[in-house]
Amino acid sequence: MRRNRQLPWLRSLVTEHRLTTDDLVWPIFVHDGTEADVPVASMPGVSRFSIDRAVEAVKEAGGLGIRAVALFPVTDPSKKTPDGDEALNPQNLVCRTLERLSRACPDMGFIADVALDPYTTHGQDGLLREGRVVNDETLAILRKQAVLQAQAGSTMVAPSDMMDGRIGAVRDALDEAQLSDVAVLAYAAKYASAYYGPFRDAVGSKGNLGKGDKRTYQMDPANSDEALREVALDLEEGADAVMVKPGQPYLDIVRRVKDTFHVPTFVYQVSGEYAMIQAAAAQGWIDGDAVLLEALLAFKRAGADAVLTYGAVRAAKLLAKSR
């Protein structure tokens, strides 16, 4: 076996998988303040951007070859309500950001998150009635939210709320609004994970959620067959691509989804995965850049077509250097 490994040229010829910037989606946080960058303490290297700063940063990312950005708003606590009404304000932060970014960077993809958690005082992704997150009443809001985001400039909306039937509902709403070219990326197999902690810090929803959790709608980390049923339903309802989330602890799910359905499969290297790499690197315990690239390559090997990673810009710079 070592004959094929002995020389760099030979290793490169027998390489099975390669990570390129064509595979990367960069999730960013935007806030409504004037301060250009507000660092996220639990995610070293990640900041919440003002809209102006986001425009600059996205242009730079495009220059490095990154093709798409996923947007997450940091909603001012004064705008949060029990029913998340701000989600349906056409002038809300995410809509204003989409308008600016899509005009400034017409070749970049903008993926908007469809869910209510940035807007609710309880931090749940759906409407809460008598202590329960209710499904169908939430769908009615998600439909409108997706249409607003698409009208503001999102070319791919990504329902991340894990309500049942949301993909069909959103697809239907987009079509009715003459937005049939807008694609739907389903967070199809999204687990109730402890790896989302730093994200909830970044968008400020951790305090809202308090001791609550999302186990009545996000998946049980113990389950794998169930992920295939989720993906099958989302595809039937019209998803253009499906996602597995988190990433590294769920590589087996990525592989099963890809092998079963042969459809565009995205994976999300979530905030906790990113934070763990950065924390160990800061201690000098691992080489953070090398581990980042290895983790991203592992997603490709597991069958992913695209990866959402907070390290997208860093990875793009490293890939440019290694060419």
Omega before residue 246 within 30° of 0, cis: yes
Closest CB to ligand PBG among residues 104, 279: 279
Q: Which of 86, 113, 230, 234 binds ligand PBG (CB under 6 A)?
A: 113
Contact (Cβ atoms closer than 8 angstroms) between residue 137 and residue 129: yes
By CB under 6 A, tell whether 87 contacts ligand PBG. no
Q: Looking at beta carbons only, is 104 or 276 nearer to ligand PBG?
A: 276
Residue nearest to ligand PBG (CB): 199
125 binds ligand PBG (CB under 6 A): yes
- Determine how many CB atoms are found less than 10 A away from the CB of residue 196: 22
Assess 110 for contact with ligand PBG (CB under 6 A): no
Q: How many residues comprise the chain?
A: 323
Rule CB under 6 A: is residue 115 a binding residue for ligand PBG? yes
Q: Which stretch binds ligand PBG (CB under 6 A): 85-93, 109-117, 149-157, 296-304?
A: 109-117
Task: Give the torsion sign (CA, 319, 29, 276, 218).
Answer: negative
> Smallest distance, Å, CB 313 to ligand PBG?
16
Tell the burial category of 5 from Cβ atoms under 10 Å away from its Cβ (0-12, 13-18, 19+): exposed
Q: What is the distance of C-alpha 146 from the center of its chain?
A: 15
**DSSP per residue, 82-139:** TT-GGGG-TTSHHHHHHHHHHHH-TTSEEEEEE-STTTBTT--SSEEETTEEESHHHH
Smallest distance from the beta carbon of 263 to ligand PBG, in angstroms? 21
Instruction: Name which of 161 and 237 has its Cβ closer to ligand PBG.
Output: 161
Using an 8 Å Cβ cutoff, are 13 and 31 in contact?
no
Least separation in angstroms between CB 106 and ligand PBG: 26
- In DSSP notation, 28-85 reads EEE-SSS-SEEE-TTSTT-EEEPHHHHHHHHHHHHHTT--EEEEEE---GGG-BTT-G
**Number of residues engaging ligand PBG in binding (CB under 6 A):** 12
**Phi, psi of 187, deg, nearest 5:** -75, 80
Residues 174-213 that bind ligand PBG (CB under 6 A): 196, 199-200
Q: Which is nearer to ligand PBG, 125 or 234 (CB)?
A: 125
Active site residue 245: yes
Rg (CA), the chain: 19
Q: Phi/psi of residue 123, each to 5°? A: 75, 5
**Candidates 59, 206, 214, 245; catalytic one:** 245
Check residue 230 for interaction with ligand PBG (CB under 6 A): no
Using CB under 6 A as the binding rule, the residues of this chain from 142 to 161 that contact ligand PBG are 160-161
Question: Any contact of residue 86 with ligand PBG (CB under 6 A)?
Answer: no
Closer CB to ligand PBG, residue 8 or residue 159?
159
Site for ligand PBG in 246-285 (CB under 6 A): 270-271
Q: Which residues are catalytic?
A: 190, 245
Residues in the site for ligand PBG, rule: CB under 6 A?
Answer: 113, 115, 117, 125, 160-161, 196, 199-200, 214, 270-271
